[in-house]
Structure 1
Amino acid sequence: MSKRLEGKVAIVTGAGSGFGEGIARRFAAEGAKVILADINGDAVTLIANELGDDAVAVAADVTRKADVEAMIAAATGHFGRLDILVNNAGYTHRNRSLLDVSEEDFDRIMAVNAKAIYLSTLQAVPVMEAQGGGVILNTASTAGLRPRPGLTWYNASKGFAVTATKSMAVELAPKKIRVNALCPVAGETAMLDRFMGEDTPERRATFTATIPLGRFSTPEDIANAALYLVSDEAEFITGVALEVDGGRCI
């Protein structure tokens, strides 16, 4: 590895599996010190132990202010700064009619996919501003750009992530804080069966048929895109919602 993140301190939420795990592992391989945050504390502890002394696990529910405060404090307490914040934790309802999604599921979707960005921003921005800048990366979705039936309330939450990213980018630019978003297509993660309604060969074939490059996204795909957007190579890029989707949004 080229150590493109040498000397950087990063927080990755939802780092216990899927895209978040892939991002955290790639950042660590590129020289970053990483706080792995997840509601599943056991999962991130195992990964952090594997990554070594420059990785710290934090059990955190990103919808709770106290947990987010503790997550940010872990970065500054262990490593003295915070250069990169990846708001990756996500939640979705199962693919179904918009009339059949429970209020409980709706509230959880909006809390994890929207409110968590608000809470983490309030805590991270003062730290980044004081040290002269930083990068925030929000995991949105192609669902926020090209919504389709069956995931309406999830789509709406990811539309929030895209719009918030663009507005944050403009407002935080004078503080030298860049803000971008990733928009993955459905991927090989634990939420795939919810996106499809059920995980069957037939459903997989139907979904992949809508992706010109003919496959789902992988944690490696998303980690590669995340690495570029948070690196110094992207220092003039802000407010972008990058489609990592095999052509799905065309």
Structure 2
Amino acid sequence: MDGNLPLSDHCVVVTGGASGIGAATVQALTAQGSHVVIADIQQEAGIALAESLGPRALFCKTDVTREEDIVAAITTAERHFGPITGWVNSAGVIGAVGSIMETTVTAFDQTMAVLCRSVFLGIKHAATAMKAHGGGAIVSVSSIAGLMGGLGPHTYTMAKHGVIGLTRSAASELSALGIRVNAVAPGGTVTPMTAALTGGDSALISEAIRSASPLGIACMPEDIAGGILYLLSDAARNVTGHTLTIDAGITTCTPQMGFHTDSPQVLLHAGQRSDQEPQQA
């Protein structure tokens, strides 16, 4: 990430901060001078990351589906680093996969708890803490599966649409309190979660993502972290209720069908081609 954002001495909690996009966000924040609490259920990885980053980072074991754990993460952050100014909902799973006709209610509930309830709890309690100190910024990780169908499993897609809906709804209430609420919608990104789709083969998932990218890029967690840092920072002070799509144009660019590379001409009615401009009616 080029340049510096005004994030020095901020206090930010990052759920799911021990790996993937969350870990990249934690690393980027500490590099910018923020204090960060890594709120994650992955204790070994979270402690190791915090220790590698020094006194600006702290691990707090957190099950993001439990309200008391979310509250504890805020308490930990404020006890060690002062009032929280930022919150990132990054914890995620792929969750239930398979046909809608065969997905169990148990699998559905488990997936929604991690992907949706955790975001509700994060926004609820982060906003409560921020209100007491005059404002802050909240960013949630959605997905391009939250923008259109067919890009993820059914329950995942439903949950990620819900993240975007709650982002907009919460922003409409919390703006009056000086609290900005935004989301990012990553496309395919090389993380441990996506690598699990290929049996843990990060090279294979990297090539799959690169080949599907209109820009020919294997998106990395650092690419998403850059967008999250922007939305947390005062550089985005006039941005709320927004979902920043970071997908190399997948949701806006269809595959080229010759229209851009064919010889100059005008396609008229059935079977007729012309190299002349059509006449005005």
Query: Which residue of structure 1 aligns with residue 6 of structure 2?
Result: 4
Higher relative contact order (CA 8 A, sep 6+): 1
Give the 3 Å change call, closer, same or farther, for CA 97–208 of structure 1 in structure 2: farther
Q: How far apart, in 2, do the equivalents of 1:115 and 1:234 lie? A: 26
Query: Which residue of structure 1 aligns with residue 91 of structure 2?
Result: 89
**Among candidates 214, 218, 221, match of residue 219 of structure 1:** 221
Q: Deviations over 1:36-87 (max 9, x none)?
A: 1111111111110111111110110000011111111111111120000000
Q: How far apart, in 1, do the equivalents of 2:243 and 2:192 lie? A: 23
Give the 3 Å change call, closer, same or farther, for CA 235–149 of structure 1 in structure 2: closer
Equivalent residues in 2 for 1:7-18, closer than 5 Å: 7-18=9-20
Q: How far apart, in 2, do the equivalents of 1:86 and 1:138 lie? A: 6
Q: How far apart, in 2, do the equivalents of 1:31 and 1:197 lie? A: 36
CA contact (8 A) 1:188 1:217 kept: yes
| Correspondence 1:147 to 2:146 | no
Q: How far apart, in 2, do the equivalents of 1:107 and 1:162 lie? A: 19
Q: How far apart, in 1, do the equivalents of 2:159 and 2:118 lie? A: 11
Q: Percent identity?
A: 35
Q: TM-score, normalised by structure 2?
A: 0.82
Query: Which structure has the greater CA radius of gyration?
Result: 2
**Among candidates 167, 171, 174, match of residue 165 of structure 1:** 167
Cα deviation, residue 91, structure 1: 1.2
Q: How far apart, in 2, do the equivalents of 1:93 and 1:99 lie? A: 16
Equivalent residues in 2 for 1:92-103, closer than 5 Å: 92-93=94-95, 95-103=97-105
Secondary structure, aligned partner of 2:106: helix
Cα deviation, residue 31, structure 1: 0.5
| Correspondence 1:115 to 2:121 | no
One-letter amino acid of the structure 1 residue matched with residue 107 of structure 2 = D
Cα deviation, residue 233, structure 1: 0.6
Query: Which residue of structure 2 aligns with residue 191 of structure 1?
Result: 193
Give the 3 Å change call, closer, same or farther, for CA 211–171 of structure 1 in structure 2: same
Q: How far apart, in 2, do the equivalents of 1:188 and 1:26 lie? A: 17
Query: Which residue of structure 1 aligns with residue 246 of structure 2?
Result: 244
Query: Which residue of structure 2 aligns with residue 135 of structure 1?
Result: 137
One-letter amino acid of the structure 1 residue matched with residue 57 of structure 2 = A
Cα deviation, residue 194, structure 1: 5.3
CA contact (8 A) 1:39 1:61 kept: yes
Equivalent residues in 2 for 1:227-238, closer than 5 Å: 227-238=229-240
Equivalent residues in 2 for 1:26-105, closer than 5 Å: 26-93=28-95, 95-105=97-107
Q: How far apart, in 2, do the equivalents of 1:17 and 1:202 lie? A: 19
Give the 3 Å change call, closer, same or farther, for CA 94–208 of structure 1 in structure 2: farther
CA contact (8 A) 1:37 1:57 kept: yes
Secondary structure, aligned partner of 1:73: helix
User: Structure 1 stretches of 5 or more lacking a match?
Assistant: none
Cα deviation, residue 208, structure 1: 4.5
Q: TM-score, normalised by structure 1?
A: 0.92
User: Structure 2 stretches of 5 or more lacking a match?
Assistant: 253-281
Cα deviation, residue 211, structure 1: 2.5
Of 200-209 and 104-113, the range deviating more from structure 2: 200-209
Cα deviation, residue 3, structure 1: 6.1
Q: How far apart, in 1, do the equivalents of 2:107 and 2:198 lie? A: 17
Equivalent residue pairs, number: 250
Q: How far apart, in 2, do the equivalents of 1:78 and 1:111 lie? A: 28
